[in-house]
A = this chain, B = another copy of it.
Amino acid sequence: MIFLASDNWAGAHPKIAAGLSHHAAGFAEAYGASRLDRAVAERFNAIFEREVAVFFVATGTAANALALTAGARPGGVAFAHREAHVLEDECGASEYLSGGCRVQPIDGDLGRIDPARLRHALARLGTDNLHAGQPTAVTVTQATEAGTVYPLAAIAEIGEIARSHGLLFHMDGARFANALVALEATPAEMTWKRGVDIMSFGGTKNGCWCAEAVVLFDPGRTRDFGFLRKRAAQLFSKSRFVAAQFEAYFADGLWLELAAHANAMAGRLAGRIAASSALRLAWKPEANEVFAVMNRELFGRLKREAIFYPWAIPHASAGEIGPDETLCRLVTSFATTAADIDGFAALFR
């Protein structure tokens, strides 16, 4: 079998596993107060070139939902791309954990919020309309659910909209490293230097087994966040084992290396698809997800040898998809090999 279903089907990178084992023995403070926790927090400061507050949580969904909860206000409305994970794949966690704040979908091509539509939605909502509610936050996903990335200028533009409307600006970085290497940007350039206030920093999809964090750039929001996380049952007692994963993840640039590999595998796959007449790219991949259109016969044939899924995009950016065609998502990861890609490509060559 060739595994292209999702990057969370991959296991843990050997160095991450070794990092965990390395720290298994011995005693240490619980609940994030250990030396290792503190060292990793320092590492985050270095990575972001400023003092940040880091809160480990169990899942990317937790990171997103608690970040939006940190920005919640009565009658609040957050804005997300229509295909965002927070809207489509988190079972209403943000609405639940925020006590009922709403997440309003905004359209835009290829998984990216269209700033004009965001401005329009904000203008329509207003700021003092008790009946409609008040705007509180905007969240972008970097890399997006469509396997694309926001250019730095696009992040800055949304950051400016957020700033001028008093919105919390959140970035869902479940595939942060993939976006970083795609843009050849620094973490600082892709976040707070473009107006991001808070982010979900994901390591799980890129080689950790469970390493997710909320990073706050805005110290004013830090005060209550510790209570918010604990109350949401997201404070690990043996927190240092998340720290241990991040320690290994950051050591010698492993995280960027793994993301670069995953992106390269996606590029290799995209190249094979582009060169084939049996199927076509739905759009140009920019990170580690490839979207392809194929007919049902081919789909059925590939499914016997590989695991991947059709993709239901509510507002297709994929051009015309014929009645007997299927749009599919193919995800690469740190664990995908060139042989996997070549084996898969051999099936449709």
Q: A59-B234, A227-B134 are in contact. Are A24 and B14 (CB under 8 A)?
A: yes
Cβ of A3 under 8 Å from chain B: yes
Contacts of A133 in B (CB 8 A): 91-92, 227, 231
A238 touches B209 (CB 8 A): yes
Known: A28-B9, A28-B11, A101-B92. A130 touches B230 (CB 8 A): yes
Answer whether A230 and B75 are a contact pair too, CB < 8 Å, given A92-B133, A209-B241. yes
Stretch of A15-23, A257-265, A294-302 lying at the B interface: A15-23
Residue A61 at the chain B interface, CB threshold 8 Å: yes
Q: How far is the CA of A338 from the CA of B29 in the complex (A)?
A: 21
A276 at the interface (CB under 8 A from B): no
- A131 and B77 in contact (CB under 8 A), knowing A24-B209, A209-B241, A232-B96? no
Number of chain A residues close to chain B: CB under 8 A? 80
Contact of A91 among B24, B57, B131 (CB under 8 A): B131
A36 to chain B minimum Cβ distance, whole angstroms, is 11
CB distance from A84 to the nearest CB of B (A): 13
Query: Complex Cα distance A127/B300, Å?
Result: 25
Once the chains are docked, how many angstroms separate the CA of A231 from the CA of B124? 19
**Pairwise interchain contact B130-A235, C-beta atoms closer than 8 A:** yes
In the complex the two chains form, is A62's CB within 8 Å of B233's CB? yes
Closest chain-B Cβ to A52's Cβ sits at a distance in Å of: 19
Given A11-B28, A235-B61, also A102-B93 (CB < 8 A): no
Assess whether B90 is in contact with A100, with CB atoms less than 8 Å apart: no
* Chain B residues whose CB sits within 8 angstroms of the CB of A8 once the complex forms: 30-31, 237-238
Pairs A–B under 8 Å by Cβ, sample size 26: A9-B29, A11-B23, A13-B24, A17-B20, A17-B21, A17-B24, A20-B21, A24-B209, A57-B233, A58-B58, A58-B233, A59-B233, A60-B237, A62-B233, A75-B230, A88-B131, A89-B131, A89-B132, A91-B130, A91-B227, A95-B101, A96-B100, A131-B230, A204-B237, A209-B241, A210-B241
